[in-house]
Chains A and B, each alone.
Chain A
Amino acid sequence: MTLFIVIFLLTMLVIIALAIVQTTNLFAAAMLAGIFSLTSAMIFFLLDAPDVALTEAAVGAGISTVLFLGALALTAEHERAATAGRLAALAVVVTIAAGLFYTSFDMPRLGDPAAPAHLHVAPWYIEKTPEYIHVPNVVTAVLASFRGYDTLGETFVVFTAGIGVLFLLGQAPVGQPKISPAMTFAGKAGLRHYQIPRVVGRLLIPFILLFALYVQFHGDYGPGGGFQAGVIVAASIVLYALLEGEQQARRILSSGMLKVLAAAGPLVYGFTGVACLLLGGNFLDYSVLSSDPVHGQHLGILVIEAGVGITVTGVLISIFHSFAARGSK
């Protein structure tokens, strides 16, 4: 049954992707991209990857739609130029697709227990996680502890991307006509005149933040963790900015504070590693953080997940503000 649902959803995915490429209305494309993300998240869930589905849910349907709309408000809504060199592009695409189809016949089929990916390191992680780290969620254990180096790198990538966006959009544009704040995305008033969404939205924000904390600290036991929680916190602040205006949201969580948050995350993460070094272990080897190695692992995972969450929150909200406030200074 699961296989058939997956096949059904995969077919839907192809149809949506074709529609996205075909339409010249960029707003419609952004909406369809949201549907694409919903569908693919459902496939991730069905294929035993609930952590990924949670991330894709928060990122794809929420933040990325908001960013696309913010960018569309600053650029143009319709594609103007016709596709150039369509035949050549089609020829290239069809050739590569044929090659990929040909190689697919050598791949293990979906769910094959004897596939090479399941035979080498994966069983080791599944077997040793309860012994070394003792958290139920193997994904969190691998992400935060066994492969902590990689996640440190990813956190720095997120931080760097945030810095890049601030470099590009942080300063007021030179020689551009100023737009009144009422006419920028979320600008001065946001949706203040829409009373019903405003009341309901304001009611929901505390619960969203509470849920984000649950996702953050329950990440050892179920799907969740710093990345997902950070995105959900960012989404709640974006919701506030949409309802009350971007300027009001800035008053609550100032740009300076956001920069501090974005920088604090990688620092917390990095210094956890240094603390491990000073206590006589290897970099990011949390076992030395406490007298009991398993307890030390728990502590280390908690701290670095918090660091990841802080970075993602700070960076995503900064990015949203950069797009929303562009041109209105």
Chain B
Amino acid sequence: MYYAVIIAILATMVLALARALLGPTVYDRVLAVNMLGTKTVLLIAVVAFFMERPDFLDLALTYALINFIGVLAVLEFFRVRAQRRQAEQKKGS
């Protein structure tokens, strides 16, 4: 039964990767990264049971934390970029 879930997660990872490669907007890529992060958490949790090493779930927890920080960093990057563009437009006009 673990097999079915692992295969479903791996297939989803491929789909998310395809979205990251296709784009077209930057937000799609960020969405794909976020999705892949969640899938990584799930895959690690399932595989830890599959490999009979449930003591390694710390990793899944770390991913859940770090992934969030990555998305917020991207958001901040967008905010800075938008601010600069506005300032440039003001200068131009």
Contacts and interface: CB of A to CB of B under 8 A. Distances in A.
Secondary structure at the B interface, as helix, strand, loop or mixed, is: helix
A299 interface: no
A84 B81 CA distance: 30
A168 interface: no
B51 A42 contact: no
Given A61-B70, A187-B80, A190-B76, A54 B14 contact: no
A239 interface: yes
B58 A215 contact: yes
A66 interface: yes
A89 B55 CA distance: 46
B69 A66 contact: yes
A211 B61 contact: yes
A27 B75 CA distance: 12
Contacts of A197: 72, 75
B21 interface: yes
Interface residues of B, number: 48
Given A191-B79, A222-B56, A239-B72, A41 B40 contact: yes
Nearest to B63: A57
Secondary structure at the A interface, as helix, strand, loop or mixed, is: helix
B59 A211 contact: no
A97 interface: no
Given A28-B29, A45-B47, A224-B58, A183 B80 contact: yes
Interface in B17-66: 17, 20-21, 23, 26, 29-30, 32-33, 36-37, 40, 43-44, 47, 50-51, 53, 55-56, 58-59, 61-63, 65-66
Contacts of B69: 62, 66, 235, 238-239, 242
Contacts of B30: 31
A194 interface: yes
Nearest to A180: B87
Contacts of B17: 12, 15-16, 35
Nearest to B43: A42
8 contacts: A1-B6, A5-B47, A31-B30, A42-B40, A187-B80, A224-B58, A239-B69, A242-B75
Interface of A: 1-2, 5, 8, 12, 15-16, 19, 25, 27-28, 31-32, 34-35, 38-39, 41-42, 45-46, 50, 53-54, 57-58, 61-62, 65-66, 69, 72-73, 77, 182-187, 190-191, 194, 197, 201, 204, 208, 211, 214-215, 218, 222-224, 228, 232, 235, 238-239, 242-243
